[in-house]
Chains A and B, each alone.
Chain A
């Protein structure tokens, strides 16, 4: 007789490792309940509560000096770093949505709890050391974002965005699950620790490789890499602007964090075995994104394609597969989130009741009407282009440098050429803000920027915060770069 021990907890399980996640889910439920009883008139209070919760989780989610584990959940430097990034970026996106939800057609209060659920899912993704748990996190986040994309209930485009995102997302998730199953069939486990051993002498088996490829298809969808990016422009455009900003930053960061931990770090053989398809996908992603962004009239769509292009740059880190590239990827994510949020916030500033103002031409004259906002937008656009000394430049230098170090010269050449190409449309925004006022006045049309806009203090503050972050990251990148290096160094077995 050999009775099975009833151990619900794996050996060495430490509750400290799941506490940040529990806090996050608890905060989501709390906000959900609070929202139900909150007076309708002062709905903003829920937003402030959400921001407070996110900031608290950012603090509580910091990593202890020694990594702790709870079965397949790790709280190490990496997940601590990602918790901080996800919560802070989400908090900023909530701050900018306080004033703009109603203008964008979001009248329901579920926005805040859903957003918190998505953040919690993202935190699970970053903390998971098991593919199934990672997938659970991914689905938790995705489900919430599917609904968020459709929050503009009365708008057809928002409905369409939600449906499209859901259908294609479910499609891609199925592939991911399939890949996990195939990997499981080869490794006999879904634990990330078992994945490194899949590459025996003479490389991996065909099934392993396919499993990894299908896993990457799922990730490719979430990060919007070519050819799985097709949903991005439609969904970004259709979703309410605050949700779009959230998707372009938090969702993308969470997906990249999971990709980093579960593929880049846990399956080091992927970079070698799937080098050619990854290489082609990265190059195609940045090129297609930039080319398509060139001719966009809609600012939102342009930003969607620009985010596709940036996915291409980020994906180079996966191609390179080195720890320097991974650290650069983390740094890039932070800089990217700041500059993208800033751009979306300025766009939201122009939205007025009944007129969302999402075209580049709506920016005309902003330089005169709102000099500070225009300056912030300029900073963000220059940073997205990669013009020094802003955050985007440092991010590009460290990323491109790491990829060069890994020996992918041609890929970096492609990336640099793409950066040049991207300057055309980023600078086009600046031109619209400062130089196009004369034209639009001559044409007799008043742009959105020249109208009297309601004062939105929270939005203005968030614009300034984002621009400040971009500048600070550029001028003094060492702390952030150092912390991302430390975060990577903490991942066990790497």
Chain B
């Protein structure tokens, strides 16, 4: 079995197994960590070329869909990141969660997520990719709502699912469009068909839909609302999903599809603009948070914006820088989340304004936080410095307004990083809660991540130069020109960087220390809440108003639809009604019978008892029979008389079971009913006239008249039809009438027996 397949399947296999563990069993966590480590090892073997990188599994043949996995260097870069961070987080969570938590469930969800995320990066088919993409949203929903007894958790889980799920579906639509335009869903094939896409008018809407998917998943403006709410998840989840991996799926998509989609001119500027705006605005929001996790959430959104700007152009140098920062961010932000988890565990609060002086009480924890924060701020010689340098380099060559935004973002980032590092050192309250450094098992995973980000700062090229270059080559198709280094020489980017850090320091010292204006509710949040609420009330109102359960209303709707339909056709096309549509002219008898039928029908409406109504209805039926007789159709007349005769006793028989007759119940609706009735009658007459005007075949009667003597030897055509030409029909009719008569007899007999029984 190929190592790629093994690694991708491992989490999915482990996930259900974990559910078999009993509740307070920490071994579930160890098994998860082992699975991550195993997958990591498999990917390493693939990266070293020891195992084939492609596996194909057929799925829906007729639709051209497959579950193929293709581990190119870009996919491997992400896969190693996912399994590596996954291992550390699983190890951390094993000792972090309280012993009364439901370990099997937590780790089962976590493995489900890991597998889905690996599926996203490894899939070589857009549809399969989408499948895993939505599975990450769903497993994120489960993990955010892990403490489902908390109202806020449920709210956050639902919000994350609604936002990312909807974005995913928009993306699916974009995928389908791209797939149809380019004739394939295989990413490798698509990459060569950019020209097809560029020439097609559907390219722009398709790209916009895919962008919607990217922005929702990576929580970019204006969809940044879900990430802060998702912070209700247990902290290891926040570190893994909402800092290191899942939110990067959107960025992965940009790296993966960038070369194809950037043929559409809209792609790069749209993404870059949203990225920059998010970076700056959410940096500002992060500065105003008191809750440590909220601060980190907004800072994550802001940093993701930065990476998005770098990946958007789909050029080798910026892509390499973007990937480097992505790796950096996974390290320092993952570490920060884990460390905040430690703080919460020890101090039982996440409020920045309630913390005691950490430097004295929890020196190691504080040191790690400070190092990670400095890396995020872009202070040399940390990893964050290297990639931020490249970022500024890229933007300073661009539009001055964008450059200004970028610098503002960098300043704000530095400010909240100092708030985090230095603010916690002294603490706002000397008498705040005191904790202790936790055990090694809790400190080691974040420490490793911090060590990684420091290492990335000092030896960036030696550590990740080759993999990043390979991933860039795989993503963009061309090689990187430069290489990573801490010291790029004293250029404009260095000065800007120095300016940003010092301004950030000033902002923190001069202003944040004194008074922080607390952030108000997000506008996007209010829109979301309002929309959801409106949707629910509207739906309820709609249902209540027309699903009344009242039969005549339902009938009216059906009738109205049909009448309107007929009227529209009649008005737009015009019925052809020829003069001779009627076979004969109405004589005085016809008029008299018609008048009787109409009067009887009116009497039915006005009747005060059921019996009267039925009798009146019968009168109109018998008038119809007369009409048939006058039109020289004695067979029809007889049938009609028969039906009328049989139905009256049936009516009478069931009256016994019906509630008292109420005529006035629907008085208000009478005008409507009158209109409907008149319209239905007129429409029917119109239709009849129109269909008779458009005879396409000889009337069948001429055939019968011609053949009756020859073929059947009868001179009475009606008789011949009944007993000869249509003999089987007649037999059938007799049978039906016979059965109906038996049923009538049975009902009446049962009734009289019941009466007698009383």
Query: A residues within 8 A CB of B177?
Result: 404, 409
The answer to whether B569 and A171 touch across the interface, beta carbons within 8 angstroms, is no
Binary interface encoding of chain A residues 417-461 relative to chain B, with 1 for a CB under 8 A from any of its CBs, else 0: 101110110010001001100110000000000000000000000
Query: A residues within 8 A CB of B555?
Result: 167-168, 171
Q: In the bound complex, what is the Cα–Cα distance between A233 and B694 (angstroms)?
A: 41
Q: Is A354 an interface residue (CB 8 A)?
A: no
- Stretch from B85-93, B264-272, B543-551 forming part of the interface with A: B543-551
Q: In the bound complex, what is the Cα–Cα distance between A296 and B570 (angstroms)?
A: 40
Q: In the bound complex, what is the Cα–Cα distance between A168 and B170 (angstroms)?
A: 39
Query: B residues within 8 A CB of A231?
Result: 554
- Stretch from B60-68, B357-365, B463-471 forming part of the interface with A: B60-68
**Given that A167-B551, A217-B558, A389-B131 are known contacts, is A404 also in contact with B566, CB under 8 Å in the complex?**
no
The answer to whether B58 and A478 touch across the interface, beta carbons within 8 angstroms, is yes
Instruction: Name the CB-closest residue of B to A181.
Output: B691
- Stretch from B41-49, B411-419, B518-526, B532-540 forming part of the interface with A: B532-540
Q: Is B281 an interface residue (CB 8 A)?
A: no
Q: Is B599 an interface residue (CB 8 A)?
A: no
Q: Is B697 an interface residue (CB 8 A)?
A: yes
Q: Is A294 an interface residue (CB 8 A)?
A: yes
Instruction: Name the CB-closest residue of B to A228.
Output: B558
The answer to whether A294 and B536 touch across the interface, beta carbons within 8 angstroms, is yes
Q: Is B149 an interface residue (CB 8 A)?
A: yes
Query: B residues within 8 A CB of A103?
Result: none
The answer to whether A227 and B131 touch across the interface, beta carbons within 8 angstroms, is no
How many residues does chain A have at the interface if contact means C-beta atoms less than 8 Å apart? 75
Q: In the bound complex, what is the Cα–Cα distance between A296 and B141 (angstroms)?
A: 23
**Given that A182-B687, A206-B573, A207-B691 are known contacts, is A292 also in contact with B131, CB under 8 Å in the complex?**
no
Say which residue of A178, A186, A438 sits within 8 Å of B149 (CB atoms): A438
The answer to whether A207 and B148 touch across the interface, beta carbons within 8 angstroms, is no
Query: B residues within 8 A CB of A421?
Result: 535
Say which residue of B59, B539, B574, B692 sits within 8 Å of A292 (CB atoms): B539
Give residues of chain A (388-424) contacting chain B, Cβ–Cβ below 8 Å: 388-389, 393-394, 397-398, 400-401, 404-405, 409, 412-413, 416-417, 419-421, 423-424
Query: A residues within 8 A CB of B547?
Result: 230, 233-234, 292
The answer to whether A423 and B165 touch across the interface, beta carbons within 8 angstroms, is yes
The answer to whether B161 and A294 touch across the interface, beta carbons within 8 angstroms, is no
Q: In the bound complex, what is the Cα–Cα distance between A292 and B544 (angstroms)?
A: 9
Q: Is A4 an interface residue (CB 8 A)?
A: yes
Q: Is A387 an interface residue (CB 8 A)?
A: yes
Query: B residues within 8 A CB of A175?
Result: 558, 562
Q: In the bound complex, what is the Cα–Cα distance between A1 and B709 (angstroms)?
A: 10
Q: Is B383 an interface residue (CB 8 A)?
A: no
Instruction: Name the CB-closest residue of B to A198.
Output: B696
Give residues of chain A (206-226) contacting chain B, Cβ–Cβ below 8 Å: 206-207, 209-210, 213-214, 217, 221
Q: Is A2 an interface residue (CB 8 A)?
A: yes
Q: In the bound complex, what is the Cα–Cα distance between A485 and B691 (angstroms)?
A: 38
Interface residues on B, range: 35 or more
**Given that A2-B710, A167-B551 are known contacts, is A427 also in contact with B558, CB under 8 Å in the complex?**
no
Within the complex, what minimum Cβ distance (angstroms) separates A380 from chain B? 15
Say which residue of A171, A178, A207, A217 sits within 8 Å of B575 (CB atoms): A207
Q: In the bound complex, what is the Cα–Cα distance between A205 and B574 (angstroms)?
A: 10
The answer to whether B687 and A401 touch across the interface, beta carbons within 8 angstroms, is no
Query: A residues within 8 A CB of B260?
Result: none
Q: Is A268 an interface residue (CB 8 A)?
A: no
Query: B residues within 8 A CB of A423?
Result: 161-162, 165
Within the complex, what minimum Cβ distance (angstroms) separates A400 from chain B? 7
Instruction: Name the CB-closest residue of B to A393.
Output: B131
Give residues of chain A (196-254) contacting chain B, Cβ–Cβ below 8 Å: 205-207, 209-210, 213-214, 217, 221, 227-228, 230-231, 233-234
The answer to whether A4 and B707 touch across the interface, beta carbons within 8 angstroms, is yes
Query: A residues within 8 A CB of B728?
Result: 8
Query: A residues within 8 A CB of B586?
Result: none
Within the complex, what minimum Cβ distance (angstroms) separates A6 from chain B? 10
Q: In the bound complex, what is the Cα–Cα distance between A435 and B141 (angstroms)?
A: 12
**Given that A175-B562, A186-B696, A295-B536 are known contacts, is A206 also in contact with B574, CB under 8 Å in the complex?**
yes
Q: Is A11 an interface residue (CB 8 A)?
A: no
Q: In the bound complex, what is the Cα–Cα distance between A478 and B543 (angstroms)?
A: 39
Say which residue of B61, B154, B173, B558 sits within 8 Å of A416 (CB atoms): B173
The answer to whether A210 and B687 touch across the interface, beta carbons within 8 angstroms, is yes
The answer to whether A182 and B691 touch across the interface, beta carbons within 8 angstroms, is yes
The answer to whether B543 and A400 touch across the interface, beta carbons within 8 angstroms, is no
Give residues of chain B (684-709) contacting chain A, Cβ–Cβ below 8 Å: 687, 690-692, 694-697, 707
Say which residue of B130, B161, B535, B687 sits within 8 Å of A427 (CB atoms): B161
Instruction: Name the CB-closest residue of B to A209.
Output: B569
Within the complex, what minimum Cβ distance (angstroms) separates A193 from chain B? 16
Residue of A3, A217, A416, A417 most packed against chain B (CB within 10 A): A416
The answer to whether A230 and B149 touch across the interface, beta carbons within 8 angstroms, is no
Binary interface encoding of chain A residues 249-291 relative to chain B, with 1 for a CB under 8 A from any of its CBs, else 0: 0000000000000000000000000000100000000001001
The answer to whether A217 and B561 touch across the interface, beta carbons within 8 angstroms, is yes
The answer to whether A400 and B176 touch across the interface, beta carbons within 8 angstroms, is yes
The answer to whether B131 and A416 touch across the interface, beta carbons within 8 angstroms, is no
Instruction: Name the CB-closest residue of A to B696.
Output: A188
Q: In the bound complex, what is the Cα–Cα distance between A59 and B538 (angstroms)?
A: 49
Within the complex, what minimum Cβ distance (angstroms) separates B689 from chain A? 10
The answer to whether B558 and A171 touch across the interface, beta carbons within 8 angstroms, is yes
Q: Is B203 an interface residue (CB 8 A)?
A: no
Q: In the bound complex, what is the Cα–Cα distance between A181 and B566 (angstroms)?
A: 15
Q: In the bound complex, what is the Cα–Cα distance between A51 and B437 (angstroms)?
A: 68
Instruction: Name the CB-closest residue of A to B691.
Output: A185
Q: In the bound complex, what is the Cα–Cα distance between A175 and B135 (angstroms)?
A: 46
Residue of B202, B562, B566, B694 most packed against chain A (CB within 10 A): B562
Q: Is B180 an interface residue (CB 8 A)?
A: yes
Instruction: Name the CB-closest residue of A to B60.
Output: A477
Query: A residues within 8 A CB of B538?
Result: 291
Q: Is A481 an interface residue (CB 8 A)?
A: yes
Q: In the bound complex, what is the Cα–Cα distance between A400 and B177 (angstroms)?
A: 11
Within the complex, what minimum Cβ distance (angstroms) separates A254 from chain B? 21
Within the complex, what minimum Cβ distance (angstroms) separates A47 from chain B? 28
Q: In the bound complex, what is the Cα–Cα distance between A200 and B216 (angstroms)?
A: 51
Give residues of chain B (462-490) contacting chain A, Cβ–Cβ below 8 Å: none
Q: Is A153 an interface residue (CB 8 A)?
A: no
The answer to whether A292 and B148 touch across the interface, beta carbons within 8 angstroms, is no
Q: In the bound complex, what is the Cα–Cα distance between A292 and B535 (angstroms)?
A: 10
Q: In the bound complex, what is the Cα–Cα distance between A421 and B62 (angstroms)?
A: 29
Q: In the bound complex, what is the Cα–Cα distance between A482 and B58 (angstroms)?
A: 14
Q: In the bound complex, what is the Cα–Cα distance between A416 and B558 (angstroms)?
A: 28
Within the complex, what minimum Cβ distance (angstroms) separates B568 from chain A? 8
The answer to whether A168 and B569 touch across the interface, beta carbons within 8 angstroms, is no
Q: In the bound complex, what is the Cα–Cα distance between A288 and B79 (angstroms)?
A: 43
Say which residue of B65, B554, B561, B696 sits within 8 Å of A168 (CB atoms): B554
Q: Is A155 an interface residue (CB 8 A)?
A: no
Within the complex, what minimum Cβ distance (angstroms) separates A438 from chain B? 4
Q: In the bound complex, what is the Cα–Cα distance between A413 and B172 (angstroms)?
A: 10
The answer to whether B569 and A206 touch across the interface, beta carbons within 8 angstroms, is yes
Q: In the bound complex, what is the Cα–Cα distance between A83 and B341 (angstroms)?
A: 60
Q: Is B134 an interface residue (CB 8 A)?
A: yes
Within the complex, what minimum Cβ distance (angstroms) separates B302 from chain A? 28
Query: A residues within 8 A CB of B40?
Result: none
Binary interface encoding of chain A residues 175-197 relative to chain B, with 1 for a CB under 8 A from any of its CBs, else 0: 10010011001111000000000
Instruction: Name the CB-closest residue of A to B535.
Output: A294
Q: Is A164 an interface residue (CB 8 A)?
A: yes
The answer to whether A230 and B557 touch across the interface, beta carbons within 8 angstroms, is yes
Binary interface encoding of chain B residues 149-172 relative to chain A, with 1 for a CB under 8 A from any of its CBs, else 0: 100001000100110011001101
* List of 10 A-B pairs having minimum Cβ-Cβ separation, nearest first: A388-B131, A435-B148, A188-B697, A206-B573, A230-B554, A294-B539, A295-B540, A292-B543, A185-B691, A291-B539
Beyond A188-B696, A207-B694, A434-B148, 4 extra complex contacts between A and B, CB < 8 Å: A2-B710, A288-B542, A397-B60, A439-B149
A/B interface sample: 19 pairs, CB < 8 A: A1-B710, A4-B707, A8-B728, A171-B555, A206-B574, A227-B561, A230-B557, A233-B547, A234-B549, A292-B539, A294-B539, A397-B127, A400-B176, A401-B180, A404-B180, A416-B169, A419-B169, A420-B169, A478-B62
